[in-house]
Amino acid sequence: MTLDEESTQTTAVRLRAALTRVPAYKAGKPAAPRTDLTAYKISSNENPYPPLPSVLDVVRETATEMNRYPDMAVTDLTGRLAEALDVAPECIATGTGSVGVLGQIIAATCDPGDEVVHAWRSFEAYPIVVALAGAESVLVGLDDQQRHRLDAMHAAITDRTRVVIVCTPNNPTGPGVTHTELARFVERVPEHILVVIDEAYVEFVTMDDAPDAVGLQRAHPNVVVLRTFSKAYGLAGLRVGYAVGSPLVAEALRKTAVPFGVSTIAQRAAIASLDAFDELEVRVKDLVAERERVVAALRDQGWEIPDSQANFVWFPIGEDALPFAAACADAGLSVRPFEGDGVRVTIAETEANDRLVEVAGQFRSRP
């Protein structure tokens, strides 16, 4: 039965009222197949490089164990992360991608009617995860450079606030907050409110005064840092992310996790990726160099592209978002438009990046 057919079937099942306020997640579209040219999906900030051979080997070997449940405590990966980050293993909690971990955070902190302060526009999963808990997103607009306004976010805190999320670098707009700003902000947030620092793109950050979020966590038990293997590590399809927080917070996140959510394949692939960090870092550096090249070329064309510290660029073009995305689609590029606001484009293969610059140039000089 398709979803449409299902909708004609009446039911007396009572669903939570909160569900009506949960926005649908619009995933980046796959690129429409083309016979005339290579189509590229540059709509989900995925890593364009195929898995490393060493990681694939581990995945293949581990496939023979899929009749078994994974290690629920994620012991080996947790130990490796703790060592790499110089924190105690008790401070780490894993989940099915960092979006999964964010769901664990909200489930652990928010009752219906509680508030979560975050920037907007920011990661579109935030309002979904918050609304699912029956909690309220308090949206704080970005400044004219597409950056978080941390003072305004601080001013938005009320008696109902349980969580504040700082997305740095910010998806989909690109800039990061500085360590100085973030440290000052964390100092001022009341100790009972959890400050989530979402660092999904941390490996791509090259700015001066970049945040040391794990350092801030060590000094402030109400800080929790979110990281993922989906972006720089190229494991988006395996769903593994983690949080670094105080032992109490990390324990709460283990309680609210999907049991056995992180598969053995994902756990071992993540360890193999940590082992292969040097190889992955070369790829990250290439993507960062491509990002700088694309941003410079677009600015030369006259586009006002904000600073990007991640693996994507943001076109803040308002009403032109859908027409520009359509022009990209015509050229075989599936990008991510946010209607009335802008378009986010992932930095990917050189050919995809070149084609983006070409389409963007044509779009600007259209009659």
Ligand X SMILES: *Cc1c(COP(=O)(O)O)cnc(C)c1O
**Interface with ligand X (CB under 6 A):** 45, 97-100, 123, 167, 171, 198, 200, 228, 230-231, 236, 241
For ligand X, which is the closer residue by CB, 236 or 274? 236
Smallest gap, in angstroms, from Cβ of residue 98 to ligand X? Answer: 4
User: Of 195 and 327, which CB lies nearer to ligand X in the complex structure?
Assistant: 195
The full DSSP string for 184-201 is HHHHHS-TTSEEEEE-TT
How far apart CA 347 and CA 45 sit, in angstroms, is 7
Q: Smallest gap, in angstroms, from Cβ of residue 320 to ligand X?
A: 23
Who contacts 149 (Cβ-Cβ below 8 Å, separation ≥6)? 119, 140, 141, 142, 143
Taking the complex as a whole, how short is the minimal distance between the CB of residue 228 and ligand X, in angstroms?
3
Is the CB of 168 or the CB of 331 nearer to ligand X? 168
Residues with Cβ within 8 Å of 366's Cβ and at least 6 positions away in sequence, in order, are none
Asked if the peptide bond before residue 169 counts as cis, ω within 30 degrees of 0, the response is yes
CB of 123 to ligand X, least distance (A): 4
Residue 217 or 363: the one with the smaller Cβ distance to ligand X is: 217
Cα Dmax for the chain? 61
Q: Smallest Cα–Cα separation from 84: which of 319, 248, 244?
A: 244
What phi, psi does 320 have (nearest 5°)?
A: -80, 0
CB closer to ligand X, 124 vs 354? 124
CB of 235 to ligand X, least distance (A): 8
Least CB distance to ligand X at residue 130 (A) = 14
Q: Residue 99 or 317: which CB sits closer to ligand X?
A: 99
Minimal CB distance residue for ligand X = 97
Q: What are the DSSP calls for 188-243, one per residue?
A: HS-TTSEEEEE-TTGGG---TT---HHHHHHH-TTEEEEEESSSTT--GGG--EEE
